[in-house]
Amino acid sequence: MEFTDEQIDRYARHLVLPEIGDGGQGRLLESKVLVIGAGGLGSPLLSYLAAAGVGTLGVIDDDVVDLSNLQRQILHDTSAIGQPKVRSARRRLAEINPEVKVIEHAERLTTENAIGVIEGYDLVADGSDNFATRYLVNDACFLAEKTLVSAAIMRFDGQIATFKAYKEGEHPCYRCLFGAQQQDIKNSCADVGVLGALAGTMGSLQAVEVVKELLDIGESLSGSLLLYDSLATTFRKIKTRRDPACELCGPQATNFAQRAKLSRGILRTLSSDREG
């Protein structure tokens, strides 16, 4: 790929890294990444991906900027209060790197639109703030065969994992780790709080893992769960395994999943199981 003088300047620190170089930078420029949520995790994640020159960034969020967001959602500023987050995010990302194409999806991810939205991208990064969305993103990424980098934060704790259960081998999915159901019982950041800078740590880790997956460098976080305890200042990396009984990616589910992929009914079925 031929770089302009401006690109050679802008990406100089990537170009000198043997693991990235011209080939890797070219790959980043051609990559399309969908980020779920332009909030606490999405802010550093999108900022670093834009700065890195990931060519197309999709942002899906149906929320507007609220004063209480600004303690951690550093994509947005005080003047953006009341504006759609996707609009505010796009404006800021264009300032960071005007050559990145930002696609606004000012909607909620649902069982109806999930696969259609995800299919247009190479990789998905989930920075949503609730279990229902995390399960939906996991299921849709499995069915659409997209690698997923998923992170979550609460109080002083963060976690991150990469999922590519659509591949053969020891690649568990989100359901393998957390079971078929997790209820959103009074457990959101709004209820229990979250340290603002923790979003910076975990969203930045997500950006690193996204770039590694896009370039296929280093050791993938698939098959591992990384836990960060900010009060103790400890990182713990746990090995994770596929659950043979997983209703999405387990062996007995494979045929079901493949059939349902054609009908796309599986998202509805799995979601209604969860809600029921």
State the Cα torsion 61-90-81-190 to the nearest 10°. Answer: 40
Query: Binding Zn ion by CB under 5 A: which of 55, 175, 228, 257?
Result: 175
CB of 63 to Zn ion, least distance (A): 29
Is residue 173 a contact point for Zn ion (CB under 5 A)? yes
Q: Give CA angle at 103 (97, 106), nearest 5°.
A: 125
Query: Binding Zn ion by CB under 5 A: which of 176, 211, 214, 266?
Result: 176
# residues near Zn ion by CB under 5 A: 6
Separation CA 229–CA 235 (nearest Å): 7
CB of 248 to Zn ion, least distance (A): 5
Q: What is the DSSP letter of 130?
A: S
Separation CA 106–CA 170 (nearest Å): 35
DSSP letter for each residue of 12-38: HHHHTSTTTHHHHHHHHHH-EEEEE-S
CB of 254 to Zn ion, least distance (A): 11
Is residue 109 a contact point for Zn ion (CB under 5 A)? no
129 vs 247, which CB is nearer to Zn ion?
247
Give the interface segment with Zn ion, choosing from 18-26, 41-49, 206-214, 241-249 (CB under 5 A). Answer: 241-249
Give the interface segment with Zn ion, choosing from 20-28, 76-84, 167-175, 260-268 (CB under 5 A). Answer: 167-175
244 vs 265, which CB is nearer to Zn ion?
244
Is residue 80 a contact point for Zn ion (CB under 5 A)? no
CB of 238 to Zn ion, least distance (A): 16
57 vs 173, which CB is nearer to Zn ion?
173
Give the interface segment with Zn ion, choosing from 48-56, 166-174, 221-229, 268-276 (CB under 5 A). Answer: 166-174
Sign of the C-alpha dihedral computed for residues 94, 98, 100 and 106 taken in this order = positive
Question: How far, in Å, are 201, 210, 211, 220 from residue 217 at the CA level?
Answer: 21, 10, 8, 8
Give the list of residues 6+ apart from residue 146 with CB closer than 8 angstroms, or none.
118, 119, 121, 122, 123, 124, 166
Is residue 143 a contact point for Zn ion (CB under 5 A)? no
CB of 115 to Zn ion, least distance (A): 17
Q: Give CA angle at 105 (99, 106), nearest 5°.
A: 125
DSSP letter for each residue of 194-208: B-HHHHHHHHHHHHH
141 vs 152, which CB is nearer to Zn ion?
141
Residues 244-263 that bind Zn ion (CB under 5 A): 246, 248-249
Write out the residues near Zn ion by the rule CB under 5 A: 173, 175-176, 246, 248-249
